[in-house]
């Protein structure tokens, strides 16, 4: 089967700073591919090269068999791009915004009318279509933001953080809709800070750090990378930095770091059985006020590979 | 270039502007408030208005007396005798006199004093030319009769007879000459330039907003050439500027009887000025960081340029230095062109220099702004 997206050896430098180095991956029709990385890892630069906003220094992007460099118009027509920000006119209605994007993609007037109604149904906003966008909730704006990328029935949908700042009801509607599109055969490139969304939607995931892909595979394959290690979250009261230093010396603990929330995160082989030793290690340095043990997941893998959490 | 993206951008932008109530007030209502009040303050606009002309008549020779008699008899002129030439110049410069005439003793070479070729000045000059022409005709007729052998008494009788006969010859249709609304004829073009520029700068806010929210970057991900997006944005701003100008021209013609002049010339001047405004708007939209800045910066900037260009008061009241500075900016050239075209018998050929300067300014502003705009929208 021909891949919907083939990108190879993508690189981009800004002066001496390497933003993306030799990134390459493929996405098949009906496949959802997650791109995970901490802030500044190179996700946005990679996506910008995929949608034609940035010219790569090296590498190729082929969408639906069309090379983006040699025939950008045809390649772009196969991509639906949903940026992280709400890139819509706030003083136009939802329908008018969709009409604008439909016309940008060159849809004939008659066809466009029908496509707008279909998309409004898909994102569940048919009843608010003629209200101005600045009267919409954050979640409704996000849904129209996605809808604007679906009007021309793209082969590849690129969603950059599509659920940031939305209420649970809208998030569910967005994720359900995205899953339906993938089930219907659309290829999806998805980035999110919400690991549970990536675990739910994506068939394969790439972890990108310092501009390069450090791991790629299915959820199961990535989790295998950290072996049977558990993730342990400790809430400490006392000299946390000294406690972290001591914890790194506990046998079986492979990672120990402080999270943005202030807790201490450990990756440890058979972690649940190490709890007595862990508590004894910090005794006298800090008081353990809460403990949580999580079995291996993408979050643990991400921490293991990048040394930071997605929300850092 | 496919028409879809350009039309899509223009339609979306015009729809957005049509929903901006404050913006619409400044486009549809404010120019006419300004035209009415400033027009009334500058001299009404009725057919009964008379142009104030100062005269310095040194000595009391018959020629000077005859010219003064003719000028005082002119229905469109209000003749004021002024003490000396400097006082006359000051009156013209300050705007209290539309023009001035110096009649040296014993000479038939008169000096006309005008600081600018504005509508009032040109109308006054035309009236003075008529009066002087009449006196010159009498002198010439007398000289001819004397040369033919008539005595001075016979010559005078012949000339009187000719004058009586010429009184039967008159210009029946004098609408243009005597009915030109002086006040509005000035404030209408002045406010056209002022508001076309100011409102163009204000609509740059929408452009800045499109940049800020990432709307333009997103448009570049569609199968659309970069040039089409930039052209669509520029065309949207040009149409707003042109619509503002056309609205002022149509309403001022219908309500205030303003005569704009030869259509081709006026359309050319207004068109290039709208391009200048478009370039300034895109430059503003590219430089600012927030959509609030164009609304804060645009109007004061437009007013200052309008002051320098003679849009807020007649340029003869501004003095030579300010007028010279004003020539660095588009308003002065636009004002010069529109006032020239408002004179009967003028056309595009009389304002070619103004049009060329405005076209150069438009080309420079559009080039600079589009390059800058393109760079700003490329930054992610």
CB proximity under 8 Å: A 18-47 to B: 44-45
Q: How far apart are CA B32 and CA B195, in angstroms?
A: 10
Say if residue A148's pLDDT is above 90. Answer: yes
Query: Tens digit of pLDDT for each residue in A68-95?
Result: 999 999 999 999 999 989 999 999 999 9
Q: What angle do CA B130, B135, B139 make, to 5 degrees?
A: 145
* Nearest chain A residue to B209, by CA: A89
pLDDT at B101 > cutoff 90: no
Q: How near does any CA of chain A get to the CA of B25, in Å?
A: 17
Distance CA A197, CA A34 (A): 10
User: pLDDT-derived band of residue A310, with 50, 70 and 90 as boundaries?
Assistant: low
- B window 6-25, beta carbon within 8 A of A: 7-9, 11-12, 15-16, 19-20
Residue whose token pair is 């204000």: B202
Pick A92's closest partner by Cβ from B12, B219, B224. B12
pLDDT of residue A195: 84
Predicted pLDDT at B365: 95
Nearest CA in chain A to B5: A104
CATH topology of domain B51-160: D-Maltodextrin-Binding Protein; domain 2 (3.40.190)
Using the beta-carbon criterion (under 8 Å), do B12 and A51 form an inter-chain contact?
A: no
d(CA A76, CA A110): 22
Condensed to tens digits (0 to 9), the pLDDT of residues B186-229 reads 888 999 999 999 888 888 888 888 888 888 889 999 999 888 88
- Give yes or no for B207 touching A (CB within 8 A): no
Q: Is B308 helix (H, G, I), strand (E, B) or coil?
A: helix
Is B16's CB within 8 Å of A92's CB?
A: yes
A88 touches chain B (CB under 8 A): yes
| Nearest partner of B83 among B102, B67, B64, B68, judged by Cα | B102
Of all residues in chain B, the one with the smallest CA distance to A99 is B8
Facing residue for B221 by CB, picked from A81, A90, A91:
A81
Three-state SS across B69-133?
Answer: HHHHHCCCEEEEECCCHHHHHHHHHHCCCCEEEEECCCCCCCEEECCCCCHHHHHHHHHHHHHHH
Q: Are A302 and A210 in contact (CB under 8 A)?
A: no
Contacts for A161 with CB less than 8 Å, ≥ 6 apart: A84, A191, A192, A193
Query: Can you tell me the ipTM of this complex?
Result: 0.79
Let me know if A120 is exposed, middle or buried by CB neighbors in 10 A (0-12, 13-18, 19+): buried
Q: Give the Cα separation of B158 and B70 in Å (integer).
A: 19
Picking from A51, A73, A103, the nearest residue to B7 by CB comes out as A103
| Strand ordering across the sheet containing A66-67 | A17-27, A5-14, A58-63, A66-67
Whether A83 and B218 lie within 8 Å, measured CB to CB: yes
Point out the least confidently predicted range of A121-125, A246-250, B4-8, B20-24.
Answer: B20-24
Out of A155-169, B93-107, B301-315, least confident range: B93-107
- Dist. CA A255–CA A73, nearest whole Å: 47
Q: Is the pLDDT of residue B182 over 60?
A: no
Say yes or no: A77 contacts chain B, CB-CB below 8 A. yes
Q: Shortest Cα distance from A70 to chain B (angstroms)?
A: 13
Residue boundaries of the structural domains of chain B: 5-43+183-377, 51-160
Report pLDDT for A252.
87
**Of A54, A92, A104, Cβ closest to residue B15:** A92
């Amino acid at each position: 089967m021909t891949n919907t997206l083939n990108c190879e050896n993508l690189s981009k430098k800004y002066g001496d700073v390497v933003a993306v180095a030799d990134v390459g991956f493929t996405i098949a029709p009906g496949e959802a591919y997650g791109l995970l990385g901490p802030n500044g890892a190179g996700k946005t630069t990679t996506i910008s090269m995929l949608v034609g906003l940035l010219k790569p220094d090296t590498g190729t992007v082929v969408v639906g068999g069309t090379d983006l460099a040699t025939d950008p118009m045809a390649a772009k027509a196969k991509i639906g791009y949903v940026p992280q920000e709400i890139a819509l006119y706030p003083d136009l209605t939802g329908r008018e915004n969709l009409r604008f994007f439909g016309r940008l993609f060159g849809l004939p007037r008659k066809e466009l009318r029908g496509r707008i109604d279909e998309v409004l149904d898909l994102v569940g906003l048919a009843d608010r279509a003629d209200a101005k966008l600045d009267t919409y909730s954050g979640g409704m704006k996000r849904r129209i933001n996605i809808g604007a990328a679906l009007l021309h029935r793209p082969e590849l949908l690129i969603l950059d953080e599509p659920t940031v700042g939305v209420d649970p009801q809208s998030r569910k509607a967005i994720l359900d809709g995205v899953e339906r599109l993938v089930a219907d055969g659309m290829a999806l490139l998805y980035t999110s800070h919400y690991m549970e969304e990536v675990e739910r939607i994506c068939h394969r995931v790439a972890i990108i750090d310092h501009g390069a892909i450090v791991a790629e595979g299915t959820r199961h394959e990535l989790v295998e990378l950290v072996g049977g290690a558990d993730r342990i979250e400790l809430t400490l009261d006392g000299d946390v930095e000294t406690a972290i230093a001591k914890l790194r010396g506990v046998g079986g603990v492979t990672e120990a770091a402080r999270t943005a929330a202030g807790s201490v995160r450990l990756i440890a082989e058979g972690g649940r059985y190490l709890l007595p030793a862990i508590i004894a290690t910090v005794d006298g340095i800090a008081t353990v006020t809460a403990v949580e043990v999580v079995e291996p997941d993408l979050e643990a893998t991400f921490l293991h590979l990048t040394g930071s959490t997605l929300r850092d | 270039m496919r028409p879809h993206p350009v039309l899509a951008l223009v339609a979306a932008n015009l729809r957005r502007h049509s929903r901006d109530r404050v913006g619409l007030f400044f486009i549809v209502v404010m120019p006419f408030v300004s035209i009415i009040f400033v027009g009334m303050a500058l001299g009404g606009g009725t057919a009964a208005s008379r142009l104030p002309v100062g005269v310095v008549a040194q000595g009391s020779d018959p020629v000077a007396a005859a010219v003064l008699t003719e000028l005082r008899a002119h229905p469109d002129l209000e003749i004021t005798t002024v003490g000396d030439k400097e006082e006359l110049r000051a009156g013209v410069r300050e705007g209290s006199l539309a023009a001035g005439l110096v009649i040296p003793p014993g000479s038939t070479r008169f000096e006309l004093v005008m600081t600018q070729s504005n509508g009032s000045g040109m109308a006054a000059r035309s009236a003075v030319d008529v009066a002087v022409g009449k006196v010159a005709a009498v002198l010439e007729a007398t000289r001819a009769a004397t040369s033919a052998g008539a005595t001075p008494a016979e010559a005078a009788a012949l000339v009187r007879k000719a004058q009586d006969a010429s009184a039967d010859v008159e210009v029946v249709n004098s609408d243009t000459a005597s009915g030109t609304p002086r006040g509005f004829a000035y404030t209408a073009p002045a406010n056209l330039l002022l508001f076309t520029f100011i409102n163009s700068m204000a609509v740059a806010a929408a452009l800045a907003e499109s940049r800020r929210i990432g709307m333009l970057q997103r448009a570049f991900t569609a199968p659309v050439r970069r040039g089409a997006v930039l052209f669509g944005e520029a065309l949207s701003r040009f149409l707003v500027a042109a619509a503002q100008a056309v609205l002022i021209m149509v309403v001022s013609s219908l309500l205030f009887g303003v005569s704009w002049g030869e259509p081709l010339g006026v359309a050319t001047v207004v068109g290039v000025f709208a391009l200048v405004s478009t370039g300034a708007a895109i430059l503003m939209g590219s430089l600012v960081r927030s959509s609030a800045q164009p609304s804060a910066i645009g109007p004061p900037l437009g007013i200052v340029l309008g002051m320098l260009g003679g849009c807020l008061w007649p340029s003869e009241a501004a003095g030579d230095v300010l007028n010279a500075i004003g020539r660095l900016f588009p308003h002065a050239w636009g004002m010069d062109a529109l006032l020239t075209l408002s004179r009967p018998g003028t056309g595009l050929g009389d304002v070619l220099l103004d049009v060329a300067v405005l076209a150069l300014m438009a080309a420079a502003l559009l080039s600079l702004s589009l390059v800058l705009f393109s760079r700003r929208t490329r930054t992610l």
